[in-house]
Amino acid sequence: MSRNKLLLLIQSALCIVLVVMLSAAVIGIYRTGIAEKQENPLAWVYTREKVAAALKPAAPVFLLAVGVTVVCAFLRVQDERQDKPVRDVELTRDLIAGRVAEPSDAMIKERAYQKKLLYGGWAAFALCMLPVLLYMINGSHFQNGDLEEMFLSFVSHVLPWTAAGIACLMISSVLQGKSIEREADAASARVKEEKAQGIKPAPKVAEPPKNQKAVRLVLLAVAVLFIFVGIRNGSMNAVINKAIRICTECVGLG
């Protein structure tokens, strides 16, 4: 392993550890503040001293990360691939497949597998979003006047399902990329076979541009759905009440 790669790995690991420690400190400050507020509602819980005490364990990691960053800048350490263009595996596959007169069985199999991954990933994402939609439609979840309690309940019910849905899309995307690479290899082998047999690919007919009207209709339907959800769970009334309070209490109109 080269020196540059080792320094970059150390810097990345320190940044990850620092983010975890800072997140834990913030959550700890918040939970301590809630507990103290329940015991004494008039207590001043979020003080500078308490924040400094919570962030103190992360200080050595922060200083070490800054030191490694300074060393990397002094030694001009950088990723060797940062100036190289990102490889588009799908474009590469299409360029190679365009030279094939008749797709092989392996190419057809991989293309069908990619469609299954695409539809399966979005189907799994939709299933993960179903509990989120049901939670948002239920207006009883937004009737509590305690904003912090309502926010924590919202996060605990929505965030895990959203993370699971995004994870399904990411896994599907990674598997599709691997399948596209295998299809590109199969296409390269097919090109060599046809070239050895003297077979020339037929001229490709330009495909018409993809229909963007369907995408716009889907976005419009999603917007209308979320408007309906906001009206159904009472968020519209909450927004109106907050706007009235801001105008009458904060700005002083009326």
Measuring CA to CA, how many Å separate 115 from each of 110, 126, 168?
9, 17, 15
For the chain, give the percent of residues with pLDDT over 90: 29
Q: Which helix (H) or strand (E) covers residue 63, if one does?
A: helix 59-75
Q: pLDDT, tens digit, for every residue of 47-58?
A: 788 888 888 999
Give mean pLDDT, residues 23-35.
84
Q: Determine the 3-state secondary structure of 1 from DSSP.
A: coil
- Give the separation between CA 200 and CA 213, rounded to whole angstroms: 37
Phi, psi of 100 (to 5 degrees): -95, 130
For residue 80, pLDDT over 90 is answered with: no
* C-alpha dihedral sign at 193, 199, 200, 202: negative
Stronger pLDDT, 209 or 125, i.e. the higher one? 125
What is the pLDDT, as a whole number, of residue 251? 57
Comparing CA positions, the residue from 6, 5, 16 lying closest to residue 79 is: 5
Q: Determine the 3-state secondary structure of 209 from DSSP.
A: coil
What torsion, rounded to 10 degrees, do the Cα atoms 149, 152, 157, 162 define? 150
Q: pLDDT, tens digit, for every residue of 186-205?
A: 999 988 888 888 877 665 55
Average pLDDT value over all residues in the chain: 82
Instruction: Measure the CA angle with vertex 152, ends 147 and 157; round to 5°.
Output: 125
Give mean pLDDT, residues 203-213.
55
Stronger pLDDT, 41 or 128, i.e. the higher one? 128
Q: pLDDT, tens digit, for every residue of 113-163?
A: 999 999 999 999 999 999 988 888 877 777 666 666 777 777 888 889 999
Stronger pLDDT, 79 or 119, i.e. the higher one? 119
Comparing CA positions, the residue from 128, 95, 136 lying closest to residue 225 is: 136
Q: Where are the domains of the chain?
A: 3-75, 87-203, 211-254
What is the pLDDT, as a whole number, of residue 64? 92
Give mean pLDDT, residues 70-75.
86
Give mean pLDDT, residues 37-43.
77
- Give the separation between CA 144 and CA 160, rounded to whole angstroms: 22
